Structure 1
Amino acid sequence: MDIELDEVDRGILHLLQQDARHNTATDIAAEVDVTANTVRNRISRLEDAGIIKGYVPVIDYERTDKSMHMVIQCTVPIHERGELAATALAVDGVVAVREVMTGHRNLRIDLVADDTDEITAAVSRLQRQGIEVDEQELLKAEYLQPFDHFGASAADE
Protein backbone atom coordinates (compact mmCIF):
# COMPACT_ATOMS: atom_id res chain seq x y z
CA MET A 1 0.00 0.00 0.00
CA ASP A 2 1.67 3.19 -1.19
CA ILE A 3 0.66 6.41 0.48
CA GLU A 4 1.89 9.92 -0.03
CA LEU A 5 3.25 11.53 3.13
CA ASP A 6 2.20 15.07 3.96
CA GLU A 7 3.64 17.44 6.58
CA VAL A 8 1.42 15.97 9.31
CA ASP A 9 2.64 12.43 8.56
CA ARG A 10 6.27 13.58 8.49
CA GLY A 11 5.77 15.47 11.75
CA ILE A 12 4.28 12.39 13.40
CA LEU A 13 7.17 10.23 12.18
CA HIS A 14 9.70 12.76 13.45
CA LEU A 15 8.16 12.94 16.91
CA LEU A 16 7.81 9.16 17.17
CA GLN A 17 11.48 8.76 16.27
CA GLN A 18 12.38 11.36 18.89
CA ASP A 19 10.55 9.50 21.64
CA ALA A 20 7.80 7.02 20.77
CA ARG A 21 7.47 5.91 24.36
CA HIS A 22 6.64 9.26 25.92
CA ASN A 23 5.12 11.26 23.04
CA THR A 24 1.38 10.71 23.43
CA ALA A 25 -1.14 11.27 20.64
CA THR A 26 -2.14 14.46 22.47
CA ASP A 27 1.48 15.68 22.64
CA ILE A 28 2.02 14.95 18.95
CA ALA A 29 -1.31 16.56 18.00
CA ALA A 30 -0.25 19.80 19.68
CA GLU A 31 3.03 19.83 17.73
CA VAL A 32 1.56 19.07 14.29
CA ASP A 33 -1.65 21.09 14.80
CA VAL A 34 -4.28 18.36 14.44
CA THR A 35 -6.49 16.45 16.90
CA ALA A 36 -5.24 13.49 18.94
CA ASN A 37 -7.75 11.29 17.12
CA THR A 38 -6.25 12.36 13.78
CA VAL A 39 -2.79 11.42 15.08
CA ARG A 40 -4.02 7.97 16.16
CA ASN A 41 -5.67 7.44 12.76
CA ARG A 42 -2.53 8.59 10.92
CA ILE A 43 -0.32 6.29 13.00
CA SER A 44 -2.62 3.34 12.23
CA ARG A 45 -2.52 4.21 8.52
CA LEU A 46 1.32 4.49 8.61
CA GLU A 47 1.53 1.12 10.38
CA ASP A 48 -0.88 -0.53 7.91
CA ALA A 49 1.17 0.85 5.01
CA GLY A 50 4.35 -0.63 6.50
CA ILE A 51 6.00 2.76 6.96
CA ILE A 52 6.06 2.24 10.73
CA LYS A 53 7.27 -1.32 11.23
CA GLY A 54 7.59 -1.33 14.99
CA TYR A 55 8.75 0.44 18.09
CA VAL A 56 12.19 -0.63 19.27
CA PRO A 57 14.16 0.68 22.24
CA VAL A 58 17.65 2.05 21.66
CA ILE A 59 19.90 0.01 23.94
CA ASP A 60 23.28 1.06 25.26
CA TYR A 61 24.90 -2.37 25.03
CA GLU A 62 27.98 -1.19 26.90
CA ARG A 63 25.81 -0.88 30.03
CA THR A 64 24.43 -4.42 29.68
CA ASP A 65 26.13 -7.78 30.06
CA LYS A 66 26.67 -7.62 26.27
CA SER A 67 29.24 -4.86 26.49
CA MET A 68 30.97 -5.63 23.17
CA HIS A 69 29.20 -4.33 20.06
CA MET A 70 30.75 -5.50 16.79
CA VAL A 71 30.00 -4.28 13.29
CA ILE A 72 30.78 -7.05 10.84
CA GLN A 73 31.10 -6.25 7.13
CA CYS A 74 30.36 -9.29 4.99
CA THR A 75 30.11 -10.30 1.36
CA VAL A 76 27.50 -12.75 0.12
CA PRO A 77 26.24 -13.65 -3.36
CA ILE A 78 23.74 -10.96 -4.35
CA HIS A 79 21.05 -13.49 -5.29
CA GLU A 80 21.32 -15.01 -1.77
CA ARG A 81 21.59 -11.72 0.14
CA GLY A 82 18.03 -11.68 1.54
CA GLU A 83 18.07 -15.32 2.56
CA LEU A 84 21.50 -15.03 4.21
CA ALA A 85 20.41 -11.85 6.00
CA ALA A 86 17.56 -13.82 7.60
CA THR A 87 19.98 -16.65 8.42
CA ALA A 88 22.39 -14.21 10.07
CA LEU A 89 19.61 -12.70 12.17
CA ALA A 90 19.02 -16.13 13.73
CA VAL A 91 22.60 -16.31 15.08
CA ASP A 92 22.87 -15.72 18.83
CA GLY A 93 24.04 -12.17 19.54
CA VAL A 94 23.06 -10.72 16.14
CA VAL A 95 20.83 -7.70 16.79
CA ALA A 96 20.66 -6.14 13.31
CA VAL A 97 21.37 -7.05 9.71
CA ARG A 98 21.41 -4.58 6.83
CA GLU A 99 21.45 -5.48 3.16
CA VAL A 100 23.76 -3.08 1.34
CA MET A 101 23.26 -2.34 -2.36
CA THR A 102 26.76 -3.23 -3.52
CA GLY A 103 28.46 -6.35 -4.74
CA HIS A 104 31.26 -6.24 -2.16
CA ARG A 105 30.55 -5.89 1.56
CA ASN A 106 26.86 -6.13 0.84
CA LEU A 107 25.76 -7.34 4.28
CA ARG A 108 26.34 -5.45 7.53
CA ILE A 109 25.78 -7.35 10.75
CA ASP A 110 25.61 -5.86 14.25
CA LEU A 111 26.57 -8.37 16.91
CA VAL A 112 26.62 -7.95 20.68
CA ALA A 113 28.54 -10.18 23.07
CA ASP A 114 29.97 -10.14 26.54
CA ASP A 115 33.41 -11.42 25.53
CA THR A 116 35.64 -12.37 22.60
CA ASP A 117 34.75 -16.06 22.90
CA GLU A 118 31.10 -15.22 22.15
CA ILE A 119 32.18 -13.09 19.19
CA THR A 120 34.37 -15.89 17.82
CA ALA A 121 31.55 -18.43 18.16
CA ALA A 122 29.05 -16.15 16.42
CA VAL A 123 31.43 -15.25 13.58
CA SER A 124 32.26 -18.93 13.07
CA ARG A 125 28.55 -19.73 12.85
CA LEU A 126 28.05 -16.94 10.29
CA GLN A 127 30.91 -18.33 8.20
CA ARG A 128 29.47 -21.87 8.35
CA GLN A 129 26.23 -20.41 6.96
CA GLY A 130 28.10 -19.24 3.83
CA ILE A 131 28.69 -15.64 4.89
CA GLU A 132 32.14 -14.30 4.02
CA VAL A 133 33.36 -12.05 6.83
CA ASP A 134 35.51 -9.25 5.41
CA GLU A 135 36.00 -6.98 8.40
CA GLN A 136 35.11 -6.80 12.08
CA GLU A 137 35.00 -3.51 13.95
CA LEU A 138 34.45 -2.98 17.65
CA LEU A 139 31.96 -0.13 17.98
CA LYS A 140 32.67 2.47 20.64
CA ALA A 141 29.51 4.60 20.34
CA GLU A 142 26.55 5.16 18.07
CA TYR A 143 24.68 8.41 17.66
CA LEU A 144 21.14 8.53 16.28
CA GLN A 145 18.73 11.29 15.45
CA PRO A 146 15.19 11.30 14.11
CA PHE A 147 14.43 11.95 10.47
CA ASP A 148 14.17 15.72 10.01
CA HIS A 149 10.78 16.15 8.43
CA PHE A 150 11.23 19.93 8.26
CA GLY A 151 14.04 19.59 5.70
CA ALA A 152 17.15 21.65 5.16
CA SER A 153 15.25 24.92 4.66
CA ALA A 154 14.10 24.91 8.31
CA ALA A 155 17.69 24.44 9.47
CA ASP A 156 18.82 27.45 7.44
CA GLU A 157 16.36 29.83 9.14
Structure 2
Amino acid sequence: MTGTDDDIDDVDRGILHRLQQDARNESAREIATAVGVSAGTVRNRIEKLESAGIIRGYLPDIDYERAGYQLTILFTCTASAPSAELTETILDKHGVVTVRTLLAGTENYHVTVVGTDTDDVSSIADSIRECGLEIVRADVLDAEVVQPFNHFGTEGSEADE
Protein backbone atom coordinates (compact mmCIF):
# COMPACT_ATOMS: atom_id res chain seq x y z
CA MET A 1 0.00 0.00 0.00
CA THR A 2 1.23 3.42 -0.82
CA GLY A 3 0.63 6.76 0.90
CA THR A 4 -1.89 6.59 3.74
CA ASP A 5 -3.13 3.28 5.06
CA ASP A 6 -6.34 3.58 3.01
CA ASP A 7 -4.65 4.28 -0.33
CA ILE A 8 -4.30 1.28 -2.58
CA ASP A 9 -2.28 1.16 -5.77
CA ASP A 10 -2.39 -1.05 -8.86
CA VAL A 11 -0.38 -3.80 -7.15
CA ASP A 12 -2.88 -3.89 -4.26
CA ARG A 13 -5.76 -3.91 -6.74
CA GLY A 14 -4.19 -6.80 -8.62
CA ILE A 15 -3.71 -8.72 -5.37
CA LEU A 16 -7.33 -8.06 -4.32
CA HIS A 17 -8.58 -9.16 -7.73
CA ARG A 18 -6.66 -12.44 -7.55
CA LEU A 19 -7.76 -13.12 -3.96
CA GLN A 20 -11.41 -12.56 -4.90
CA GLN A 21 -11.11 -15.18 -7.62
CA ASP A 22 -9.77 -17.93 -5.34
CA ALA A 23 -8.03 -16.91 -2.11
CA ARG A 24 -7.61 -20.49 -0.93
CA ASN A 25 -5.74 -21.82 -3.94
CA GLU A 26 -3.76 -18.72 -5.02
CA SER A 27 -0.23 -18.84 -3.63
CA ALA A 28 1.77 -15.68 -2.95
CA ARG A 29 4.13 -16.79 -5.74
CA GLU A 30 1.28 -17.13 -8.27
CA ILE A 31 -0.14 -13.74 -7.31
CA ALA A 32 3.36 -12.23 -7.49
CA THR A 33 3.84 -13.54 -11.03
CA ALA A 34 0.46 -12.15 -12.06
CA VAL A 35 1.02 -8.66 -10.62
CA GLY A 36 4.74 -8.38 -11.39
CA VAL A 37 6.25 -8.22 -7.88
CA SER A 38 8.00 -10.65 -5.53
CA ALA A 39 6.15 -13.17 -3.36
CA GLY A 40 7.50 -11.37 -0.27
CA THR A 41 5.94 -8.13 -1.49
CA VAL A 42 2.61 -9.90 -1.98
CA ARG A 43 2.72 -11.32 1.55
CA ASN A 44 3.60 -7.89 3.00
CA ARG A 45 0.86 -6.18 0.99
CA ILE A 46 -1.75 -8.74 2.07
CA GLU A 47 -0.75 -8.22 5.71
CA LYS A 48 -1.10 -4.43 5.32
CA LEU A 49 -4.46 -4.80 3.53
CA GLU A 50 -5.66 -7.01 6.40
CA SER A 51 -4.35 -4.61 9.08
CA ALA A 52 -6.05 -1.67 7.35
CA GLY A 53 -9.36 -3.56 7.35
CA ILE A 54 -9.55 -3.64 3.55
CA ILE A 55 -9.39 -7.44 3.63
CA ARG A 56 -11.81 -8.38 6.40
CA GLY A 57 -11.67 -12.14 6.04
CA TYR A 58 -11.74 -15.15 3.77
CA LEU A 59 -15.09 -16.89 3.43
CA PRO A 60 -15.77 -20.12 1.57
CA ASP A 61 -18.46 -20.19 -1.13
CA ILE A 62 -20.76 -22.90 0.23
CA ASP A 63 -23.45 -24.75 -1.68
CA TYR A 64 -25.95 -24.85 1.19
CA GLU A 65 -28.31 -27.21 -0.61
CA ARG A 66 -25.58 -29.82 -1.05
CA ALA A 67 -24.67 -29.28 2.62
CA GLY A 68 -28.19 -30.29 3.66
CA TYR A 69 -29.92 -26.91 3.83
CA GLN A 70 -32.52 -27.11 1.08
CA LEU A 71 -34.02 -23.66 1.61
CA THR A 72 -32.35 -20.28 1.22
CA ILE A 73 -34.68 -17.41 2.05
CA LEU A 74 -34.22 -13.66 1.65
CA PHE A 75 -36.22 -11.78 4.26
CA THR A 76 -36.88 -8.10 3.56
CA CYS A 77 -37.42 -6.48 6.95
CA THR A 78 -38.09 -3.23 8.73
CA ALA A 79 -36.35 -2.19 11.94
CA SER A 80 -37.47 0.94 13.74
CA ALA A 81 -34.02 1.43 15.27
CA PRO A 82 -31.30 -0.02 13.00
CA SER A 83 -27.91 -0.38 14.68
CA ALA A 84 -24.66 -2.29 14.53
CA GLU A 85 -25.68 -4.08 17.74
CA LEU A 86 -28.97 -5.20 16.18
CA THR A 87 -27.10 -6.46 13.13
CA GLU A 88 -24.75 -8.51 15.35
CA THR A 89 -27.70 -9.90 17.31
CA ILE A 90 -29.38 -11.02 14.09
CA LEU A 91 -26.15 -12.58 12.79
CA ASP A 92 -25.93 -14.65 15.98
CA LYS A 93 -29.26 -16.35 15.22
CA HIS A 94 -29.30 -19.94 13.97
CA GLY A 95 -29.56 -20.09 10.17
CA VAL A 96 -28.68 -16.45 9.43
CA VAL A 97 -25.85 -16.18 6.88
CA THR A 98 -25.96 -12.51 5.82
CA VAL A 99 -27.44 -9.27 7.07
CA ARG A 100 -27.49 -6.20 4.86
CA THR A 101 -28.57 -2.82 6.17
CA LEU A 102 -29.92 -0.23 3.78
CA LEU A 103 -29.43 3.52 4.12
CA ALA A 104 -32.85 4.63 2.93
CA GLY A 105 -36.42 3.44 3.05
CA THR A 106 -38.51 1.65 5.62
CA GLU A 107 -37.48 -1.81 4.43
CA ASN A 108 -33.99 -1.33 5.83
CA TYR A 109 -32.74 -4.88 6.45
CA HIS A 110 -32.17 -7.80 4.07
CA VAL A 111 -31.52 -11.02 5.98
CA THR A 112 -30.51 -14.20 4.17
CA VAL A 113 -31.12 -17.45 6.02
CA VAL A 114 -30.66 -21.13 5.26
CA GLY A 115 -32.80 -23.91 6.65
CA THR A 116 -33.43 -27.60 6.30
CA ASP A 117 -37.21 -27.33 5.84
CA THR A 118 -40.17 -24.98 6.30
CA ASP A 119 -40.37 -25.64 10.05
CA ASP A 120 -36.70 -24.69 10.43
CA VAL A 121 -37.20 -21.50 8.38
CA SER A 122 -40.31 -20.61 10.42
CA SER A 123 -38.28 -20.95 13.61
CA ILE A 124 -35.55 -18.74 12.18
CA ALA A 125 -38.16 -16.15 11.12
CA ASP A 126 -39.55 -16.15 14.67
CA SER A 127 -36.07 -15.54 16.11
CA ILE A 128 -35.60 -12.61 13.70
CA ARG A 129 -38.93 -11.13 14.80
CA GLU A 130 -37.88 -11.51 18.44
CA CYS A 131 -34.93 -9.22 17.63
CA GLY A 132 -37.42 -6.47 16.77
CA LEU A 133 -37.58 -6.83 13.00
CA GLU A 134 -40.84 -6.86 11.07
CA ILE A 135 -40.61 -9.27 8.14
CA VAL A 136 -42.19 -7.51 5.17
CA ARG A 137 -41.47 -10.15 2.52
CA ALA A 138 -39.87 -13.58 2.27
CA ASP A 139 -38.46 -14.84 -1.03
CA VAL A 140 -37.06 -18.29 -1.73
CA LEU A 141 -33.75 -17.90 -3.54
CA ASP A 142 -33.04 -20.16 -6.46
CA ALA A 143 -29.44 -19.21 -7.25
CA GLU A 144 -26.86 -16.59 -6.42
CA VAL A 145 -23.93 -15.93 -8.71
CA VAL A 146 -21.05 -13.82 -7.40
CA GLN A 147 -18.12 -12.43 -9.30
CA PRO A 148 -15.02 -10.49 -8.25
CA PHE A 149 -15.46 -6.73 -8.20
CA ASN A 150 -13.95 -5.86 -11.57
CA HIS A 151 -12.88 -2.34 -10.66
CA PHE A 152 -9.96 -3.75 -8.71
CA GLY A 153 -9.19 -4.46 -12.30
CA THR A 154 -6.85 -6.67 -14.13
CA GLU A 155 -4.45 -3.87 -15.05
CA GLY A 156 -2.36 -4.97 -12.06
CA SER A 157 -2.72 -8.62 -12.97
CA GLU A 158 -0.92 -9.69 -16.15
CA ALA A 159 -1.83 -13.39 -15.96
CA ASP A 160 -5.56 -12.97 -15.32
CA GLU A 161 -7.59 -15.86 -16.70
> Do Structure 1 and Structure 2 share a fold, with TM-score over 0.5?
yes
1:59 alignment counterpart: 62
Q: Deviations over 1:19-70 (max 9, x none)?
A: 0011000000000000000000000000000000111000111111112111
Q: Which runs of 4+ in 1 moved over 4 A?
A: none
Unmatched 5+ stretches in structure 1: 152-157
Please point out which of 3, 14, 23 is paired with 1:11. 14
Q: Higher RCO, 1 or 2 (CA under 8 Å, sep at least 6)?
A: 2
Q: Higher helix share goes to which structure?
A: 1
2:128 alignment counterpart: 126
Q: CA RMSD for the aligned pairs?
A: 1.3
Alignment size in residue pairs = 150
**Contact 1:84/1:131 (<8 A) preserved:** no
TM-score, normalised to structure 1's length? 0.91
1: CA distance, partners of 2:131 / 2:72: 21
Cα 1:69–1:143 change in 2 (3 A) is same
Identity %: 44
Query: What secondary structure sits across from 2:138 in the alignment?
Result: strand
What amino acid sits opposite 1:38 in the alignment? T
Q: Deviations over 1:102-150 (max 9, x none)?
A: 1321111110000000110110111122111111111100001011122
Q: Greater CA deviation, 32-41 or 80-89?
A: 80-89
Unmatched 5+ stretches in structure 2: 155-161
1:142 paired to 2:151: no
Query: What secondary structure sits across from 2:37 in the alignment?
Result: coil
Following superposition, the deviation at residue 97 of structure 1 comes to 0.8
Please point out which of 67, 73, 82 is paired with 1:70. 73
TM-score, normalised to structure 2's length? 0.89
